[in-house]
Amino acid sequence: MRELMKLISWNVNGLRACMGKGFMEVLEKESPDAICLQETKMQREQADFDFPGYREYWNSAEKKGYSGTAIFSKTEPLSVEYGLGEEDFDREGRLIVAEYEDFILVTVYTPNSQRELERLGFRMRFEDCLRERLARLRERKPVVVCGDLNVAHRPIDLKNDRSNIGNAGYTYEERGKFSELLASGFLDSYRFFYPDREGAYSWWSYMNNSRANNTGWRIDYFLADQRLAPRLKEAVIYPEYLGSDHCPVGLTLE
């Protein structure tokens, strides 16, 4: 029988802030084999903390206090790559690729289209570039993609779907790109296990008591290569961890 590998992804909305709000509790209590972070908002040299037992891989944005991704892994990957190969995107530190023995782990922080959708065009280009990159990686090995993908795919994935149509994260364009990504060979692991579960969200606005009322969106995902379906054991959302406006999400595979 194969060993289980437990993966967690979390948009920490600033790792230094999250360290003071329970980040280490997640690491110690859940003890993932790898944890993928988005919106780290820092360079590694700014840190005065370390993570015993984990190897660290950082892709920070050029702009201080903005964006950024990281992977902390108990096992040393066979190789690690950073970025999409497009300067516009790569200066924002939005992607890390870690290759393991029998799959490739990709963490991604998809650009937010922002108010008035002023970055929707930038984001559409990012989506196409990402999909092409993942297609090339899939030629090597099955791929697991995780991160803050900044889109609620279906009405079940946010509390107030009708009033949010056309807003950033719930435009037809963004949802269409997500559908294209799934069609390229991936499955949404949470919906694989829980196709009809309502009220399962990973992000809540800081306004209007949204978290207490569970007025949220599910925009953080683990997408698994369809070839990995027989090896998927569990998909989890951890709303009990409050260190960010996002909560961690997880996937366990054989």
Distance CA 84, CA 55 (A): 22
| CB contact set of 223 (below 8 Å; sequence gap of 6+) | 144, 145, 146, 181, 182, 186, 187, 188, 189
| CB contact set of 54 (below 8 Å; sequence gap of 6+) | 27, 35, 72, 73, 74
| CB contact set of 26 (below 8 Å; sequence gap of 6+) | 8, 10, 35, 238, 241, 243, 248
Which two structure tokens, joined as six digits, stand for 6? Answer: 């437990």
> Nearest to residue 106, comparing CAs of 34, 43, 50?
34
Would you call 109 a catalytic residue per the annotation? Answer: yes
Which two structure tokens, joined as six digits, stand for 59? Answer: 């892709």
Would you call 54 a catalytic residue per the annotation? Answer: no
Which two structure tokens, joined as six digits, stand for 69? Answer: 């991704």
Distance CA 97, CA 124 (A): 21
Distance CA 168, CA 170 (A): 6
Strands 34-38 and 5-11, bridge-based pairing: parallel
Catalytic residue among 33, 57, 100, 148: 148
Catalytic residue among 57, 100, 109, 190: 109
DSSP letter (8 states) at residue 211: T
So which residues are the catalytic ones? 109, 148
